[in-house]
Amino acid sequence: MGVRLVLEKRPERSRAMQVASPLLAVALTVLFGSILFAARGFDPLHANYVYFIGPLTTLWSVEELIVKATPLVLIGAGLAICFRADLWNIGAEGQLIAGALAGASIPILAPHWDSALAIPAMLLLGMLGGMAWAAVPALLRNRFGANEILTSLMLVYVAQYLLDWLVRGPWRDPQGFNFPKSIGFNDWHLLTTFGDGRVHLGAVFAVIAVIVLAVFMSRTLLGFEIKVRGEAPRAGGFGGFSQAGTTWLCFGISGALAGLAGICEVAGPVGQLQPTISPGYGFTAIIVAFLGRLNPLGALLGGLVLAICYLGGEAAQVELSISEKTAQVFQGMLLFFILTCDTLIRCRVRLEWATRNPSRQRQFIGLEGGASRTADAGGAAQ
């Protein structure tokens, strides 16, 4: 005897609500954020202004916003494709690092190669590096049915230690007082910048990537294949679509974009290799992808929203003397509300007396396609 909460799939889903879900999530975040501010004794209106509007009011901070959003959008757009196919690449952070390492090999190993070809070569290597790192979970999944969530995540740590070892060992700047940093890249090995000198070419790549992926997903057969695989894998099988093929493709695309983001960061704002080159962009981009409805165009917006969250957090520290933890709380609330809204739009909650209706058919659904996921993994293992 007992009451249980049952998540029941709604017979029909409201399209309007699906679009509204991220907006609702942002609104809820702001609402609960205001309560948080009020509890700390700040005027919620002013605090929200500092947090969310302030970063948009000066050219300088808009530029910084673009700098911050660039890697998030690049990675988020790629992850959106992957997640759409019901493939869970959680290791974009590692692919970012792998791309940065591969691309940075040129300025570090050939510091005197002053050529206009250096940057294209670095970018290409960066994408290949990210792709290679992402190929490992794809291979393990296709070949052995290994869970890609675990393999991709664990490869993040491998990449981090590889970077760590390189900047402390063979790639350390000989003139750097033993500090774990590579040499600073020279002008031939740094991306072109715009405006105040912080916005770099990566922002352009991010916009191009978003447009190309949006067209790819909506206008091509391969894009259709990816969607079918996520929504109805068995139907895809009957249609002759190769599961292994889409796995390679999705990991390839998201890995390449994460790698591109990595090399753009080190050849952009960082300008050298050092033990940490990303404050977790690869993980934050997961929120970006969901905020953007797993749609490349949406990732562009999602990236900007999270960048505001981050910059706003910093501004709040300076102007309101709020702890930097607030920014993290905001990010956490945002993801929480998005997932909650999504789930409640797809499903409804019902209380059920468990023992009274044992024969009643129930359907349990995990957060994002959890049920189909198990069936899918089983299929892959066969």
Cβ proximity to another protein, 220 vs 276, nearer residue: 276
Rounded-to-integer distance, Cα 307 and Cα 69, Å: 5
Phi and psi at 192, nearest 5°, equal -60, 140
Q: By rule CB under 8 A, what string of x and - marks binding of each residue 257-276 to another protein? A: --------x--xxx---xxx
- Give me the helices (H) in 169-220, please: 201-219
Which one of 8, 319, 352, 368 is in contact with another protein (CB under 8 A)? Answer: 319
Q: Which of 117, 8, 36 is nearest to 333 (CA)?
A: 36
DSSP letter, residue 189: G
Query: Under the criterion CB under 8 A, does residue 238 sit at the interface with another protein?
Result: no
Phi and psi at 349, nearest 5°, equal -100, 135
Query: Under the criterion CB under 8 A, does residue 60 sit at the interface with another protein?
Result: yes
Phi and psi at 166, nearest 5°, equal -65, -45
Query: Under the criterion CB under 8 A, does residue 193 sit at the interface with another protein?
Result: no
Query: Under the criterion CB under 8 A, does residue 192 sit at the interface with another protein?
Result: no
Query: Under the criterion CB under 8 A, does residue 321 sit at the interface with another protein?
Result: yes
Contact positions with another protein (CB under 8 A) in 34-53: none
Number of residues that bind another protein (CB under 8 A): 31
Phi and psi at 4, nearest 5°, equal -130, 155
What is the smallest separation between the CB atom of 291 and another protein, expressed in angstroms?
21
Query: Under the criterion CB under 8 A, does residue 147 sit at the interface with another protein?
Result: no
Q: Which of 42, 162, 164 is nearest to 98 (CA)?
A: 162
Rounded-to-integer distance, Cα 80 and Cα 243, Å: 18
What is the smallest separation between the CB atom of 149 and another protein, expressed in angstroms?
24
Which one of 135, 154, 168, 216 is in contact with another protein (CB under 8 A)? Answer: 168
Which one of 277, 286, 299, 305 is in contact with another protein (CB under 8 A)? Answer: 277
Number of neighbours of residue 257 by Cβ within 10 angstroms = 35
Q: What is the widest separation between alpha-carbon atoms in the chain?
A: 78
Query: Under the criterion CB under 8 A, does residue 57 sit at the interface with another protein?
Result: no
Query: Under the criterion CB under 8 A, does residue 66 sit at the interface with another protein?
Result: no
Tokens of 93: 């952070």
Residues that bind another protein (CB under 8 A): 58, 60, 64, 67, 164, 168-169, 177-180, 184, 198, 265, 268-270, 274-279, 314-315, 317-319, 321, 323-324
